[in-house]
């Protein structure tokens, strides 16, 4: 056993174990880093929660009146408390999952977009370029709905200070499948038809109508979600093919044109009998390998300023195994050179 250098006090260790923020941090890491792309887990969990909520709601009838002399209490107090706790817990879980699914977004910043031209989407907003992207949460979503415009958004845009930020809706697949199979609408339907009334003439018909309505609602949401997902995949394939055709028909011929050398000999004297001579070379492909990089001015200037002020030579330092942060935002721009003594083949 290694020697303990310093042991934490008992009170500090107990407070660390009982701190709910550690559990919430672990839960957020599991939700964000775990591979939830498989829809089987969401389908099984949604069907299981539906069955559990159906049983709990059907057995959560109100307590019999106290002045009923001939009535007998069928359920104990503990069983009623457990069933009601399950009903309320599953209802809160369904509402929380629905709100989280609708409000989860991913932030993208468009550094090269014109700050004076607003993008044609309500998801875009102008933010400070030096500020860190805000995390998406239901409370922030409600705050943006209550106060959509602030003093900074009404100020005149500055291209050196402001940038457009796009909040793209990015729900988890398991959250979306749970929303389709066990959402707030399903909880509302169960609450409207269950528990059964004691004087209901056709209780089996009521339960059948409830299940049929739930199946129709779930099938409609799942079909809508699958069609929407398929539309997004089809659009991405079409955009990829359009860019491929653009590269094949326009970009690549300009980058690597097929050329050949042509030499022409012409006599300037009109009285001479020298014939004109034309020599044509073999067609070859001109490969242009030069390119020009464009840095991100908002990030590279801030990161390179401390290095210039320090004056430390980088040659004496060990090579870094990580990608420099300045290179992450570089782009490529093809430079075209004029052909002087070559003709391009049609």
- pLDDT tens readout for residues 230-272: 998 899 999 999 999 998 888 888 877 777 777 777 766 666 5
Statement: residue 304 has pLDDT above 60:
no
Statement: residue 332 has pLDDT above 60:
no
Calculate the dihedral angle through the C-alpha atoms of 317, 323, 329, 333, rounding to the nearest 10 degrees: 90
**Band (318; pLDDT cuts 50, 70, 90):** very low
pLDDT value at position 340? 41
Q: State the average pLDDT over residues 209-224.
A: 90
Q: State the average pLDDT over residues 271-299.
A: 65
Higher pLDDT, 286 or 339: 286
Q: Write out the two tokens for 341.
A: 């003594």
Contacts 24+ apart (CB under 8 A), 326-331: 326/295, 326/296, 326/299, 326/300, 329/111, 329/295, 329/296, 329/299, 329/300, 330/293, 330/294, 330/295, 330/296, 331/293, 331/294
**Model confidence pTM above 0.75:** no
pLDDT value at position 223? 92
Distance from C-alpha of 185 to C-alpha of 164, rounded to nearest angstrom: 36
**Band (1; pLDDT cuts 50, 70, 90):** low
Q: State the average pLDDT over residues 305-315.
A: 48
- pLDDT tens readout for residues 107-155: 888 887 788 888 888 888 888 777 666 555 555 555 555 555 555 555 5
Tell me which residue of 284, 291, 287, 290 sits closest to 256, measured CA to CA: 287
- pLDDT tens readout for residues 60-111: 765 555 555 554 455 567 888 888 889 999 999 999 999 988 888 888 888 8
Mean pLDDT, the chain, rounded, equals 73
């Amino acid at each position: 056993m290694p020697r303990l250098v310093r042991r934490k006090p008992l009170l500090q260790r107990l407070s660390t174990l009982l701190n709910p923020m550690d559990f919430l941090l672990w839960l957020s890491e599991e939700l964000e880093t775990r591979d939830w792309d498989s829809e089987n887990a969401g389908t099984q969990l949604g069907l299981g929660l539906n069955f559990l909520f159906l049983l709990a709601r059907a057995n959560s009838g109100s307590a019999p009146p106290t002045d009923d002399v001939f009535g007998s209490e069928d359920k104990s107090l503990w069983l009623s408390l457990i069933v009601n706790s399950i009903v309320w817990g599953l209802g809160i879980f369904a509402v929380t999952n629905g709100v989280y699914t609708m409000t989860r977004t991913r932030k993208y910043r468009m550094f090269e977009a014109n700050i004076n031209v607003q993008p044609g989407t309500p998801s875009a907003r102008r933010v400070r370029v030096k500020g860190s992207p805000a995390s998406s949460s239901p409370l922030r979503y409600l705050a943006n709905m209550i106060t959509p415009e602030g003093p900074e958004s009404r100020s005149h845009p500055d291209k050196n200070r402001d940038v457009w930020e796009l909040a793209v809706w990015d729900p988890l697949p398991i959250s979306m499948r749970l929303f389709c199979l066990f959402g707030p609408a399903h909880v509302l339907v169960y609450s409207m038809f269950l528990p059964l009334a004691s004087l209901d003439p056709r209780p089996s018909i009521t339960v059948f109508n409830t299940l049929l309505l739930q199946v129709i609602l779930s099938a409609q949401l799942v079909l809508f979600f699958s069609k929407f997902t398929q539309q997004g995949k089809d659009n991405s394939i079409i955009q990829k093919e359009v860019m491929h055709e653009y590269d094949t028909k326009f970009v690549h011929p300009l980058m690597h044109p097929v050329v050949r050398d042509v030499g022409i000999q012409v006599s300037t004297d009109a009285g001479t009998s020298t014939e004109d001579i034309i020599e044509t070379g073999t067609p070859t492909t001109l490969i242009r390998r030069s390119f020009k990089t464009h840095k991100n001015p908002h990030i590279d200037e801030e990161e390179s300023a401390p290095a210039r002020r320090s004056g430390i030579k980088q040659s004496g330092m060990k090579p870094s195994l990580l990608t420099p942060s300045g290179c992450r935002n570089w782009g490529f721009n093809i430079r075209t050179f004029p052909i002087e003594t070559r003709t391009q083949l049609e």
